[in-house]
Amino acid sequence: MDKIVRVLLCFAFFGVSLAHAEQYPSKVITIVVPFSAGGPTDTSARLLGQTMGAALKTQMIVENVAGAGGTIAAAKVAGSPPDGYTVFFHHIGFSTAPSLYRKLPYDTIKDFEPIGLIGDVAMTLVARKDFPAKDLKELITYVKANKEKVNLANAGLGAASHLCGMLFMSAIQTEFTTIPYKGTGPAMNDLLGGQVDFMCDQTSNTISQIKAGKVKVYGVTTKTRVSALPDVPTLQEAGLPGFEVSVWQGLYVPKATPKAVIDTLVKALQTALADPALRKRFDELGTEAASKENATPEALRKHLKSEIDKWAPIIKKAGVYAD
């Protein structure tokens, strides 16, 4: 081939790929959410999607791929085209799954590129309205005395609600029945209907029911009280010293997604998290938006790894596994 033709072809190739990268996004982006619609992860993802979509000048839609504590969704994202049109919204459960599941259909570190941290959500321990325990001390006494009959709803092994319930069992040294759902949206419906007794879930899912007096609340799982629920004590204050867990959330894409696409998503995430309307809504839902420094691939990569290391011995000690 003539040298000049080769050079021209080369320019044409780079021209096309640059134009392609510059065009991103040119169609709808799907946010895969690993739990059912109507739950807290779904709520946060929809809020973020609206604001990030505006920054990206495209629509971001949510696809709920529920089941197996979020691992089905993670496997689906790991196998999706690395083109920036599939993004993954997951939480702390992404870091506990490697210890909880003997075999995972994906590699948590190698199969994904982190985009950034999104936020941190306090959890609340709540029970059905007519549950016979008015505060945490009474709840502990009641659960210990009725461990054969009480049950706790969660969103399956690997869900934040599962982790919190497990920590609660270990804190009060009592085992009781847990009922797995595909998300805590449907679990909340059953709690409101009185079919299950209690649940520890993101405040973003419990706050409206607490404020409406439709559930009993025993405490928040963070070290300090949640500003949107000033009258609710922390579980530490209420009688469980050292009890602390919150639900950090992160955004990922499949590995091998081009750097230009990742950079665009990082910028849009940071723009969304600085948006006053989004911050206000997050605040009302007991969610602290990540800072600009934490809404970066480096911060999420580091956090994910440290959380995997943090939970591994705790889960091992609890002896909870799934095949």
**Residues found near ligand ASP in the complex (CB under 6 A):** 35-36, 39-42, 93, 154-155, 159-161, 183-185, 201-202, 205
Amino acid identity at 236 = Q
Least distance in Å: CB of 187 to ligand ASP?
7
Classify each residue of 218-240 as buried b or exposed e, where b means 16 or more C-beta atoms within 10 Å of its C-beta.
bbbbbeebbebbeebbbbbebbb
Alpha-carbon separation of residue 53 from 50, 184, 254, 299 (angstroms): 5, 26, 19, 22
Least distance in Å: CB of 126 to ligand ASP?
12
Closest to ligand ASP by CB, 55 or 121: 121
Nearest residue to ligand ASP by CB is 39
Least distance in Å: CB of 164 to ligand ASP?
8
The percent helix, strand, coil of the chain (3-state, each to 5) is 45, 20, 35
Least distance in Å: CB of 155 to ligand ASP?
4
Closest to ligand ASP by CB, 62 or 260: 62
Closest to ligand ASP by CB, 52 or 155: 155
Q: What is the three-class DSSP state of 100?
A: helix
How many angstroms separate the CA atoms of 229 and 206, rounded?
A: 11
Least distance in Å: CB of 180 to ligand ASP?
10
Closest to ligand ASP by CB, 30 or 184: 184
Residue (of 114, 87, 110, 111) closest to 298 by Cα position: 114
Least distance in Å: CB of 7 to ligand ASP?
54
Least distance in Å: CB of 50 to ligand ASP?
17
Closest to ligand ASP by CB, 36 or 209: 36
How many angstroms separate the CA atoms of 46 and 183, rounded?
A: 15
Cβ atoms 261, 84 nearer than 8 A: yes
H/E/C letters for each residue in 42-91? HHHHHHHHHHHHHHHCCCEEEEECCCHHHHHHHHHHHCCCCCCCEEEEEE
Least distance in Å: CB of 310 to ligand ASP?
17
Least distance in Å: CB of 260 to ligand ASP?
31
Q: What is the three-class DSSP state of 215?
A: strand
Closest to ligand ASP by CB, 51 or 246: 246
Closest to ligand ASP by CB, 139 or 157: 157
Closest to ligand ASP by CB, 24 or 35: 35
Hey, which bits of 112-176 come out as E strands?
112-128, 151-154
Cβ atoms 223, 234 nearer than 8 A: yes
In sequence order, what are the beta bridge partners of 200?
A: 125
How many angstroms separate the CA atoms of 205 and 210, rounded?
A: 10
Hey, which bits of 164-286 come out as E strands?
177-180, 198-202, 215-220, 246-254
Closest to ligand ASP by CB, 50 or 189: 189
